Amino acid sequence: MMLRAMTRADVDAVLAIEQAVQRFPWTRGNFADALNSGYLCSVDCGDDGSGEIRAYAILMPAADEAELLNIGVAQVEQRKGRGRAILAAMLDEARARNMRRVFLEARHSNLAAIALYRSAGFAEIGIRRDYYRNADGGEDALVMARELTGEPNG
């Protein structure tokens, strides 16, 4: 994995992945807002030297906590450990910024994401009923959190 900060020039490539892999994708404006707001926006551009973006993640710092707002891995790159690796890198970055806790919300039906978060040490701390409003009705959000210690991977 080659991780670097996302720039405005990356938004087209990130958006293409987002639209292909997310059931309810972020818009171009959402990514622009995240960049303009100074959120931690990272891209994984692989290790073959092509620079092609394979994955991305966005973390919103707020005092000594951070919220993982988005994470996506290109379809053909899924199940190769990229999601786990970029998530671990975001946690390392949060720890380096002295954050104590990272939390996130996941759609109840998003079993792949929930399995990834559990395997990365996130625990369920609550449910927000009907948090997501879909055309086909509401969907609960699982709220998950992971405490950070000063130790790497801790």
Phi first, then psi: what are they for 101, rounded to 5°? -155, 140
CA dist 16 and 118 (Å) reads 27
Q: Report the residue number, 89 or 116, with the smaller CB distance to ligand COA.
A: 116
111 binds ligand COA, rule: CB under 6 A: yes
Is residue 100 packed enough to be buried (19+ CB in 10 Å), middle (13-18) or exposed (0-12)? middle
132 is catalytic: no
Among the listed residues 15, 21, 35, 143, the single contact to ligand COA using CB under 6 A: 21
Minimum gap (Å) between residue 2 Cβ and ligand COA? 15
Q: Which is nearer to ligand COA, 36 or 75 (CB)?
A: 75
* CB atoms near residue 44 (< 10 Å): 23
Q: Is residue 131 helix, strand or coil?
A: strand
Q: Is 151 a catalytic residue?
A: no
Q: Under rule CB under 6 A, which residues in 69-88 are in contact with ligand COA?
A: 70-73, 78-84
Q: Which is nearer to ligand COA, 115 or 123 (CB)?
A: 115
Distance (Å, whole) CA 117 – CA 146? 9
Residues that bind ligand COA (CB under 6 A): 21-22, 70-73, 78-84, 110-113, 115-116, 119
